[in-house]
Structure 1
Amino acid sequence: MTATTAEADLGTHRLPEPNMSAVGPRTFDSLSADPRKRVAYRLDPYAREGLDLFRAPGDRAWLYTTTFVVIKPDAVVGRRGGMILDILGEEGWLPIAARPFTFDPLLTREIWRYQFNAASRQRIAVVDHLLGSSPSLLVLLRDTSRADGLPASVRLTAAKGGADPSAARARDLRTRFGRVNGLFNFIHTADEPADVVRELRLFSYRTGTDWLRAARTATPSAAGEECPARTLLDGLEADAPAHDLDSARSVARLTVRDDVWGSLAREHGSRDDVRRWLSALEESELPAGTARWDVLSVLTDWIDCNEPGVTPLLATVSATDWRKQA
């Protein structure tokens, strides 16, 4: 067969589509309300491995009644952790298991793999310093309310509000927690059950798979006696300095320092100078202790978090999306 004949043959006969997933085409139908996510997660190694952790009888029901919250380092130094657990408890989410872990750049990018394409370069420059500043606390939550019949993760996503303060509502959980800005928003949660599957697999590389398996059989306690979340949180706070997370006060405190951060605070202490601060972040170590959080307070307040006009690969799934497919 000549090259010309072969080309003509290819032009008239469609080659068979290769099967690129060991995950069935309908596997994520009950776990996501987003058709694009159902396709993407069939090709995602963490989602596939996560499914292997949830194959026992009753696991699908567990994924509807259970979700998680990550209490981030900004919540630890801002002393919001106790308030977060209190408010979540008031709204029907009770802790059943908890484990500290520390973000690194790879984990951060893999957790937010489908959103990081829309992150600004400024946010990317700052986020690793923020999330790597101290351990975070992963807390599994049982939804004792089951309001509207929604999965626990979907109800929590709807209640917490967005990361952007400009879209805040008075009853958003993040507003009630006292969110400061787009990065100092204190918590991370999974959007829906498919994300619980994928992200718990990623976190289990840090917390241990055995811990996650044991946590699946834990039960909630109204008083929290069976879950060490508050004890672990107390330990994290004991190891981290308390901070007000106020950018204006942080600039004032930094002015007395005799390092690059003190110079910037004295000579370039306005939002218009954020690029100078970001350049210093590339070239200089952050100071220790509370001064580290002074610098992070300034940077998180002054940067633009997202690239204009760029949408995430996968958008946040809403309670409305779930109600439409019910």
Structure 2
Amino acid sequence: MTATTAENHPATGLTPERNTSAVSRRAFDFLTADPDKRAAYRLDPYAREGLELFRAPVDRAWLYSTTFVVLKPDAIAGRRGHLVLDILEEEGWKPFAARPFVFDPLLTRELWRYQFNAASRQRIAVVDHLLGSGSSLLVLLRDTRRADGLPASVRLTAAKGAADPSAAHARDLRTRFGRVNGLFNFVHTADEPADLVRELRLFCYRTGTAWLRAALTAVPPSGDGECPARTLLAGIEAETPRHDLDSGRSLARLAARPDVWGGLARECGTRESVRMWLSTLEEGELPPGTARWDVLSVLTDWIECNEPGVSPLLATVSANDWRNHE
């Protein structure tokens, strides 16, 4: 059928509203409690492709019982990965599949496309160096508790706590993981099932789609040794020097170096000099080995993470939003 145009309506001269999405208007109704996200994801190519991965009803049920955690390079260097997995299992999220991958700037910006508008220039300058410092580990988790009937991803988002350390509580998972600051928070998770759809599609470009399809049809693991997450984590840790992620000790170690970073540490060793450090980061390279994490420890402690007064395009959906969602 030919699309209707203004010429088809000579009496009114009006052009009908264009349809700009191949995704059904109701496609994300049961995947998000946020109407703004439903509208945005209908136009998002990764969300659209992700829906194709979860086409069957049994796959859609999978989105409620399953979620993921990404152990970022700071978790690897800071040796928090096993602690994270221990605490998640203790709270009912059981790992059942895992795959290593490496962030690059494009993946970072697409993953946080709807939040990066609120990121400060300082954060943008640092985050690629942080996430590109080594391998990350994507771990799929099955929720064995499903408290209040909430989707696994929503329950994990609520338990994880706020990204801002100033808003943290003692029982937040991020606090229990030993989160250091706004960027050294060790993990990334999907907020709700709609994000699970979109973000797993993005990660598939690195992990392979066949791996995810196999996970969709896997029999729930019955033994503790069946998931390769801890073995893979140990292998990544073996390639990554351990670091304390302490900005004060990092500054002292850098001050003993004869290079430009040593000079900065000796002569510009206060938070007020962060712009000079960022300028050096832009113009040169981070030092190798543990000194790289020394510089990142100082910078992540000093920078402002968000632009004042700027809200993300899509806000984090809460457990209460889901409880009130029909």
When normalised by structure 1's length, the TM-score is: 0.95
Instruction: Note the alpha carbon deviations across 1:224-268, whole angstroms, 9 max, x for none.
Output: 311100000000100000000000000000001011100000000
Counterpart for residue 239 of structure 1: 239
Instruction: Note the alpha carbon deviations across 1:270-318, whole angstroms, 9 max, x for none.
Output: 1111001000001111001000000000000000000000000000001
Counterpart for residue 183 of structure 1: 183
Counterpart for residue 129 of structure 2: 129
What are the equivalent positions in structure 2 for 1:6-17 lying under 5 Å apart?
Answer: 13-17=13-17
The number of equivalent residue pairs is 319
Tell me, which stretches of 5 or more residues in structure 1 are unaligned? 1-5
What are the equivalent positions in structure 2 for 1:1-326 lying under 5 Å apart?
Answer: 13-221=13-221, 223-326=223-326
- Provide the C-alpha distance between the structure 2 equivalents of 1:213 and 1:118, rounded to a whole number of angstroms: 34
**1:163: Cα distance to partner?**
1.3
**1:15: Cα distance to partner?**
2.1
Instruction: Note the alpha carbon deviations across 1:17-76, whole angstroms, 9 max, x for none.
Output: 100001000110000000000000000000000000001231111000000000000000
- Provide the C-alpha distance between the structure 2 equivalents of 1:271 and 1:316, rounded to a whole number of angstroms: 30
CA contact (8 A) 1:94 1:224 kept: no
CA contact (8 A) 1:94 1:222 kept: no
CA contact (8 A) 1:69 1:188 kept: yes
3-state DSSP of counterpart to 2:70: strand
CA contact (8 A) 1:154 1:192 kept: yes
- Provide the C-alpha distance between the structure 1 equivalents of 2:92 and 2:14, rounded to a whole number of angstroms: 54
3-state DSSP of counterpart to 1:89: helix
3-state DSSP of counterpart to 2:75: helix
Sequence identity percentage:
78
Amino acid in the other structure paired with 2:281: L
- Provide the C-alpha distance between the structure 2 equivalents of 1:126 and 1:321, rounded to a whole number of angstroms: 33
Amino acid in the other structure paired with 2:57: P
Amino acid in the other structure paired with 1:77: A
Instruction: Note the alpha carbon deviations across 1:205-238, whole angstroms, 9 max, x for none.
Output: 0000000100112344465311100000000100
3-state DSSP of counterpart to 1:117: helix
- Provide the C-alpha distance between the structure 2 equivalents of 1:174 and 1:183, rounded to a whole number of angstroms: 12
- Provide the C-alpha distance between the structure 2 equivalents of 1:166 and 1:224, rounded to a whole number of angstroms: 36
- Provide the C-alpha distance between the structure 2 equivalents of 1:41 and 1:156, rounded to a whole number of angstroms: 21
Tell me, which stretches of 5 or more residues in structure 2 are unaligned? 1-5
3-state DSSP of counterpart to 1:325: coil
CA contact (8 A) 1:66 1:142 kept: yes
- Provide the C-alpha distance between the structure 1 equivalents of 2:117 and 2:181, rounded to a whole number of angstroms: 20
- Provide the C-alpha distance between the structure 1 equivalents of 2:295 and 2:28, rounded to a whole number of angstroms: 42
C-alpha change, 1:253 and 1:222, in structure 2 (3 Å) is farther
